Structure 1
Amino acid sequence: MQVLSLLKSKKISPEQLFMLSVLAVNGGNYLYNLILGRVLGPAEFADAAVLITFLLVLSFVAMTFQLVTAKFSVIFENETFTNFVSKIYKNATFVGLGLGALIIVFAGQLQAVFNTSSSSMFTIFGIGVPLYFLMSVNRGVFQGKKEFKSLSITYQAEMLSRLVITLALIFLLDVQSSVVIAIGILISFGFGLVPFKFKNLNFKKSIAIEASQSKQVKSFFIITAFYELTQIIINNSDILLVKHYFDAYDAGLYASLALIGRIVYFVAWMFVMLLLPTVVQLKKEGKATAPILFKYVGYIAAIATAIVIGCALFPETAITLLFGDSYLAMAPLLWKYALATGLFAISNIFAYYYLSLDRYIPVVISGVFGMLQMGLVIFFHESLEQVVHMQIIAMVLLLVIQVIFFMFDSKLKK
């Protein structure tokens, strides 16, 4: 209560409150992963990393619905907005049910491909997928309407419930760790629905929005889905490929490396959440949008530089403090992985900026280099070091091309 009173007295804006909340949520998610890494050890943590990676993949797929909802919650008003939200809830539910069913049906095959100890963990995870899609549309409404207090609560509820429930089950019950983690993830999806705007959930409503508006929504949805696919490839393919090509011990070591190195990306995500509705609103008002891009690129570049330097100077300290001595073999690669992630985080800001403006070439560029990264890892994976080097090459090229496109595009507007 004292903290809340202090925040009110300092008159912190909703955007600033949301940024603090995102930092807290990312910190909680990090704590969740770190505790799992220490308790389970490298081999068992490899299984946990597969589930966590599946959760990240799901978040990117569902993010398509969230971003579409966020953007058109700014553009549409009154009855048009109501009809739009009703329709997107229907579509998100159908996609969630379909994707969840596929995961459940192919749980055995997923176990074989990723060399996990259980197929049940995929089945449990699949049950929760529809809930995650409902949660994402709900968050999209909050994001678009800039209801950052409610948006913060839903993220915090998901994170805290997953952290507390999973760790309680691991320490209190003698159950296979991968299954326990899946149960914790499933239950957290339910908590992530709080608060939920039930008035927007109306499956009986069948009033269509205008043809021109519907076309606009479909176009943005398709390109956003494509971009989120590139996010999945760039962000998660390395962990899944390492789990496939390397033994469980090495895969667990790599998972710890990825978790530490991705700090900059998770911090950058809060800026992306603020960027899209802000750019859409500025465009709607006919105001300049480039300054907000420069602002966020500067923030991310500064954060990325600090993290890479820290990882280069104190790699063993970072790994020992976060995961323990069992993971020290990854110390020499820590700054390199952080560099690859930092480059991607900066490139990501450019892509989302243009996505907000309905400009899709940077999205296609990201797709090309996402496939390039995956291809390089598939063909060059003699060691974990080589896997990291392939990602650095792909991300350097991606950022250079994104910056060149921005400079060329800016000259054309003059």
Structure 2
Amino acid sequence: MMQLLAVLKSRKVTPEQLFMLSVLTVNGGNYLYNLILGRVLGPAEFADAAVLITLLLVLSFVAMTFQLVTAKFSVLFEHTLFKTFISKIYKQAFVIGLVLGVLIIVFAPQLKVVFNTSSSSMFVIFGCGVPLYFLMSVNRGAFQGKKAYKFLSITYQGEMLSRLLITLGLIFLFNLQSSAIIATGIALSFIFGMFPFKTDHISFKASHELASIDKKHIKNFFLLTAFYELTQIIINNSDILLVKHYFESYEAGLYASLALIGRIVYFLAWMFVMLLLPSVVALKKEGKETASVLFKYVGYIAGISIVIVLTCLSFPELIIKILFGEQYIAMAPLLWKYAIATSMFAISNIFAYYYLSLDKYVPVVISGVFGMLQMGLVIFFHDSLEQVVHMQIVAMTLLLIIQLVFFRIEIATHKKALSKE
């Protein structure tokens, strides 16, 4: 008995494991948030909420450019160089966030028309929170790069819990179900997501300048990451926005519920991406091999994907009834198909982020091409929601095949180079 206790005591939870547990909790909370909204609002009104949730995802991908750039150079830069870098990236993130927020507010009436929403005020409220979201992302990037997973976990937990409690509190306490309430909950959650906010390493009056070679490195990685995040936006969100445009609100609401359930693979995969980038950058900096890290995370995601697809295939109606209710049951036959599409995307995404960490450009371009292909296929083939899902399966399967081919070519080239030395 004493030996068993000693073994359990010696097996401390690592920061990485703590972060993975935190991500699972955050994803669970976000799912609960969406599921409750789906049940309370119904398909037609949930379609409006889905537009806001999709805009938040789009925003997260744009802000993720700043987070990943911050994470990478938080590994590479130290001391004064890091302080100079982080001060500049905060300034740039705030300016970009402010510009995007103002644009959303100014074009709120046009967004209302494009996405067939009931009001434009939800876009105005949402736009007010955008600058904070970008500052929050840089703060998270610093935690991610320094592997401060405890603080990183707290920021995600704070954003998720505050959005859940504020939104549902307003809905149930005051019996309000407008899209403006959803937007208010989202905007206020950015404030809570800012904590803990590290200011000790920031000096906006720093006199030091980054070297030209460092500026070029940052610029190239920023542009590469920005382009890849753009492809993520297209692949991950264009289907919901296009369905909202081409179909009636009721069908769009049904599709939003399908997308929410099917994308659980992608959201689970994201925690591995967060761990992958700093690990690969650090190993490269030390001159060590990095492929083993890729294999480990690809294996995890492939295993998760198989379990989720088989579950969706075996119990589609039960899953939809439990999560959304009888009114969404029409989506049951498409659930496993949508899960296949997101699984293909999640696995190919790990390859792309791996090469992004190594400053390789080709996989990013490949993702961009197939992101546009998916969007084009949906634009031309949208006679039914089933056809929309089929087009995504085609595009994402081809994307994964091409990423695997590129990986094999890279391995063969590397082995050939080693044999010549």
* TM-score normalised per structure 1: 0.97
What are the residue-to-residue correspondences of 1:88-127 with 2, within 5 Å? 88-127=89-128
Give the partner amino acid of 1:336.
K
2:259 corresponds to 1:258: yes
Give the partner amino acid of 1:384.
L
Q: Percent identity?
A: 75
Could you tell me how far apart the structure 2 residues matched to 1:370 and 1:311 are?
Answer: 25
Give the partner amino acid of 1:327.
Y
2:65 corresponds to 1:64: yes
Could you tell me how far apart the structure 1 residues matched to 2:119 and 2:338 are?
Answer: 29
Deviations 1:59-90 (A, max 9, x none): 00000000000000000011000000000000
Offset at residue 173 of structure 1 (A): 1.9
Deviations 1:207-235 (A, max 9, x none): 32000001000000000000000000000
SS in 1 for 2:200: helix
2:218 corresponds to 1:217: yes
Per mean C-alpha deviation after superposition, the further-off stretch among 9-18 and 280-289 is: 9-18
Offset at residue 360 of structure 1 (A): 1.1
Offset at residue 176 of structure 1 (A): 4.5
What does residue 4 of structure 1 align with? none
2:275 corresponds to 1:269: no
Contact residue 234 and residue 375 of structure 2 kept, 8 A = yes
Offset at residue 9 of structure 1 (A): 7.0
Deviations 1:5-61 (A, max 9, x none): xx9874100000000000000000000000000010000000000000000000000
What does residue 139 of structure 2 align with? 138
Structure 1 unaligned regions, length at least 5:
1-6
Offset at residue 172 of structure 1 (A): 1.4
**Residues 390 and 278 of structure 1: is their aligned pair in 2 closer, same or farther, counting only changes over 3 Å?**
same
**Residues 93 and 200 of structure 1: is their aligned pair in 2 closer, same or farther, counting only changes over 3 Å?**
farther
What does residue 36 of structure 1 align with? 37
2:379 corresponds to 1:384: no
Offset at residue 175 of structure 1 (A): 3.4
Cα RMSD, aligned residues only: 1.2
2:56 corresponds to 1:55: yes
Structure 2 unaligned regions, length at least 5:
1-7, 416-421
**Residues 175 and 206 of structure 1: is their aligned pair in 2 closer, same or farther, counting only changes over 3 Å?**
farther
Give the partner amino acid of 2:344.
L
What does residue 23 of structure 1 align with? 24
2:320 corresponds to 1:323: no
SS in 2 for 1:11: coil
What does residue 347 of structure 2 align with? 346
Deviations 1:87-120 (A, max 9, x none): 0000000000000000000000000000000100
What does residue 296 of structure 2 align with? 295
Could you tell me how far apart the structure 1 residues matched to 2:140 and 2:75 are?
Answer: 13
SS in 2 for 1:199: coil
Could you tell me how far apart the structure 1 residues matched to 2:204 and 2:30 are?
Answer: 33
**Residues 210 and 8 of structure 1: is their aligned pair in 2 closer, same or farther, counting only changes over 3 Å?**
farther
Could you tell me how far apart the structure 1 residues matched to 2:273 and 2:64 are?
Answer: 12
Could you tell me how far apart the structure 1 residues matched to 2:11 and 2:403 are?
Answer: 39
Could you tell me how far apart the structure 1 residues matched to 2:290 and 2:376 are?
Answer: 35
What does residue 3 of structure 1 align with? none
What does residue 240 of structure 1 align with? 241
What does residue 231 of structure 2 align with? 230
Give the partner amino acid of 2:124.
T
* TM-score normalised per structure 2: 0.96
What does residue 4 of structure 2 align with? none
What does residue 177 of structure 1 align with? 178
